[in-house]
Amino acid sequence: MTPFQNPTIYIGGLRVDEPVTTLTDVLFCAVCFFAFFNTRPHDKHKAIYLYRWFFLLTGISTFVAAIIGHAFLYYFGKDAKIYGWVLGIFSVSFAQFAALYHTRQSINRPFFNLLIIACSLEIILTCILIFAVWSFVIIELHTAFSLVMIVTILEYIHYKKTNSQLSLYMMYGVGVAIIAVLCHILKIAFSIWFNHIDLSHLFMALSMYLMYKAIKKFDSFNPPRFIAHQNP
């Protein structure tokens, strides 16, 4: 059982487990969907197109996790968590490639091509491991690699060369996401009605909002030739 796990509530005859955790998950989903729908004017650029898919799939995977992994886990069973996990793998993978295409002009072509191959292999390995090990730890490692090792480092390089505000706000977003992870790891809980998972969800929502602000700050350092419908 999760430390300080929300007590089960009943709405009429409907049993809902972890209600606050489910609610904060839904709040996070709402921010993801808001970010997706409100960044559409920029999606002719490939990097933004990919970041928008990151928003959308993150929202969908989190909604699946809220329903299957928290509220109605007793009905679907623990094995059903795999649906949210797999969606989560692909959602964060879009962030990897979005960062690659956004920072493409700041890294040389051989390095760009090498990272494309490395990221693709990492995603394939993650998909294999999640079914072999069946542990959320795999998702956490994949997310850390994607957001810290790929997105943060590449956007930092790009920011230092171009002063891109998109890159800056993406780094802010990842920084807040790290705080969310620390809340989860350190089990920072105020009560059974607001535990470490609930707190981490709020920081995740703030993280996604900052990433949304990053896209809204899309600037002239991103040449229009990198459009969404071009082949790599």
pLDDT in the model for residue 230: 42
**Contact status, residue 50 vs residue 97, Cβ threshold 8 Å:** yes
Any domain includes 18: yes
Confidence label for 217 from pLDDT (cuts 50, 70 and 90): confident
How confident is the model over 210-221, as a mean pLDDT?
Answer: 81
pLDDT in the model for residue 136: 87
Any domain includes 232: no
Any domain includes 60: yes
Any domain includes 222: no
- Domain ranges, residue 60: 9-216
pLDDT digits (tens, 9 = 90+) for 132-149: 999 989 998 999 999 999
Residue (of 62, 24, 155, 143) closest to 102 by Cα position:
155
Does this model's pTM top 0.85? yes
Any domain includes 13: yes
Confidence label for 221 from pLDDT (cuts 50, 70 and 90): very low
Query: What percent of the chain lies above the pLDDT cut of 70?
Result: 92
How confident is the model over 172-191, as a mean pLDDT?
Answer: 92
**Contact status, residue 198 vs residue 24, Cβ threshold 8 Å:** yes
Residue 178 predicted with pLDDT over 90:
yes
pLDDT digits (tens, 9 = 90+) for 32-51: 999 999 998 776 789 999 99
Residue 153 predicted with pLDDT over 50:
yes
DSSP for the chain reads --TTPPPPEEETTEEESSHHHHHHHHHHHHHHHHHHHTSGGGTTBHHHHHHHHHHHHHHHHHHHIIIIIIITHHHH-GGGHHHHHHHHHHHHHHHHHHHHHHTGGGS-HHHHHHHHHHHHHHHHHHHHHHHHH--HHHHHHHHHIIIIIIIIHHHHHHHHHH--HHHHHHHHHHHHHHHHHHHHHTT--SBTTB-HHHHHHHHHHHHHHHHHHHHHT--TTS-TTSBTTS--
Any domain includes 140: yes
Any domain includes 204: yes
Confidence label for 30 from pLDDT (cuts 50, 70 and 90): very high
| CATH at 130 | 1.20.1070
Any domain includes 1: no
The Cα-based distances of 40 to 37, 45, 91 in angstroms read 6, 10, 17
Q: Please, what is the average pLDDT of the chain?
A: 91
**Contact status, residue 92 vs residue 142, Cβ threshold 8 Å:** yes
How confident is the model over 66-81, as a mean pLDDT?
Answer: 92
Residue 94 predicted with pLDDT over 70:
yes
Q: What total number of domains does the chain contain?
A: 1
How confident is the model over 85-103, as a mean pLDDT?
Answer: 96
Pick 21 or 40 by higher pLDDT: 21
| Lowest-pLDDT choice from 41-45, 97-101, 154-158 | 41-45
